[in-house]
Amino acid sequence: MSQTDVRLDGSAELRGEREATPGSAGRRRERLMVPKADFDSYYGRPVLNEPTWQAPDIAGYLFLGGLAGASSTLAAAAELTGRPHLARSAKVGALGALGGSLYCLIHDLGRPERFLNMLRVFKVTSPMSVGTWILSGYAPQAACAAATGVTGLFPGLGRAATVGAGLTGPAVATYTAALICDTAVPAWHEGFREMPFLFAGSAAAAAGGLGMLAAPLSES
C-alpha cells in the first residue's frame, strides 16, 4: 500500500517504486523510477548463430528427400496391388528425387568426401550420422527398383528391391525432421514431437501428386 508525504507547500509526493507528477490536464501521470529493461545479449552478439547452410540447397535436400522416400513406399504399394504404371512412375520419380537430394546435400557440404567421411562411424545420437546410413542403404535399392522397372529385366530382383526401398522410404522421409529439431532454434527444437508427422504428411502429399501426374487415371 503506497503512502504519501505532504510537503510544506501542500503538495503530495507518492512514495514507492513510482513517482507521480501532475499532468497538464489535471490528471496524474506516473513516471517510472527504473528505466525499462533493454533485452540484449552480451557484447552485442546475436543470441543464436546464423545457420551456415545455404537455403536453396537445404530446402531442396529436405523436399526431394521426402519425395523420394514417400515415392518408394507408394511404388511398393502399387507393385503389390497390381498397378504397374503407377509403380514404374513412382520408382523413376524416387530415383530422380534421390539424385537431386544428394546433389543438394553434397553441394551444401562443399566437398563430396565429407559425405563419405560420415560413413566412417555410426553414432546413434547424431541424426546426420543415422541419416547418412539410412540413405546409403536406401539408395541402391531405389536405383535397382527403378532400373528393373524401366527395363523389365530381373523382375524378381526388382520386386525385392522395390519392397526394400518401400520399407526404408518412411525413414528417409522423416529422419530429416530429427535433423532439423536437433538445433538451437527454439521454433524447431520445441516441435520435435510434431515435426516427423509434418514431414511424413508433406512427403506423402508430394509423392501422391507426382503419382497422379505420371500414372493413368485408372491407377492413380
Q: Among 21-35, 71-85, 131-145, whose mean pLDDT is lowest? A: 21-35
Q: How many CB atoms lie within 10 A of CB 64?
A: 22
Instruction: Give the pLDDT score at 2.
Output: 46
Residues of the chain with CATH 1.20.1630.10: 55-212
- Band (pLDDT 50/70/90 cuts) for residue 150 is very high
- Band (pLDDT 50/70/90 cuts) for residue 188 is confident
Instruction: Give the pLDDT score at 190.
Output: 83
For the chain, the average pLDDT equals 81
- Band (pLDDT 50/70/90 cuts) for residue 12 is very low
Instruction: Give the pLDDT score at 185.
Output: 76
CB 168 within 8 A of CB 61: no
- Choose among 72, 71, 110: nearest CA to 205: 71
Query: Bridge partners of 6?
Result: 12
CB 162 within 8 A of CB 76: yes
- Choose among 195, 212, 173, 196: nearest CA to 94: 173
Measured distance CA(141)–CA(178) in Å, rounded: 23
- Helix-, strand-, coil-residue percentages of the chain, each rounded to 5: 65, 10, 30
- Report the half-sphere exposure of 23 (CA within 13 A, side-chain side): 7
Cell numbers at residue 116, please? 563419405
CATH, domain 55-212, list 1.10.3720.10, 1.10.390.10, 1.20.1630.10, 3.40.50.970: 1.20.1630.10
pTM of the complete model: 0.73
- Band (pLDDT 50/70/90 cuts) for residue 28 is low
Over its C-alpha atoms, the chain yields an Rg (Å, rounded) of 30
CB 162 within 8 A of CB 149: yes
CB 104 within 8 A of CB 68: no
Instruction: Give the pLDDT score at 14.
Output: 45
Instruction: Give the pLDDT score at 202.
Output: 94
Average pLDDT over residues 121-140: 86
CB 145 within 8 A of CB 162: yes
SS3 state of residue 209: helix
